[in-house]
Amino acid sequence: MARKDFFSSLFFIFLSLYVCWESLRLGFGEFSQPGPGFLSFLIGLSLGSLSLAVFLGIVLKKGLPEKGARGKTPWAPLLLTSAALLGFTLLLKTLGFVIDTFLFIFFLLGTVGKKSWAISLLMSLGVTFGTYLLFQYFLQSQLPVGPFGF
């Protein structure tokens, strides 16, 4: 697994460098008036930072593993997460952002994350409230409204 992580992190480091380079060519602008390359530059910077952290973690921790080292893929969490994402997408307009996000996070924490129902409930409320504040009030996005008006 670490061998794949090693090469994929290298790929994403180079991809992020390319994204940042092209974003700067588009124009970064300023924080008060962002240019067309502003968001893509920040995304490229984030991708590069995370990829570099994975790369350094592999190199500094245990080095490159021998070829042929294999691990099993946990299919149940992958399928549950994919089903949850599909459900989130299909129910977003019907249930609205708040209810749909709460159910999505609650489901993932309870099934995939195997957290207790109390922890799942509290964390789901926190994530839903935080994302609602971020998108609705700070970014002033129009979020889908559910049957209860939120």
Residue-wise pLDDT tens digits, 45-73: 999 999 999 888 888 876 555 555 566 77
Closest CA to 111 of 81, 73, 87: 81
Binning pLDDT at 50, 70 and 90, where does residue 121 land?
Answer: very high
Residue 1 corresponds to which amino acid?
M
Q: Note whether 29 and 35 are within 8 A (CB).
A: yes
- State the pTM of this model: 0.57
Residue 13 has pLDDT above 90, yes or no: yes
Return all residues near 37 (Cβ < 8 A) that are at least 6 apart: 22, 23, 24, 25, 26, 27, 28, 29
For the record, the structure tokens of 106 come out as 């609650």
Binning pLDDT at 50, 70 and 90, where does residue 75 land?
Answer: confident
CA distance 99 to 80: 19
More reliable by pLDDT, 30 or 109: 109
For the record, the structure tokens of 93 come out as 């307009």
* Stretch 119-125: mean pLDDT: 95
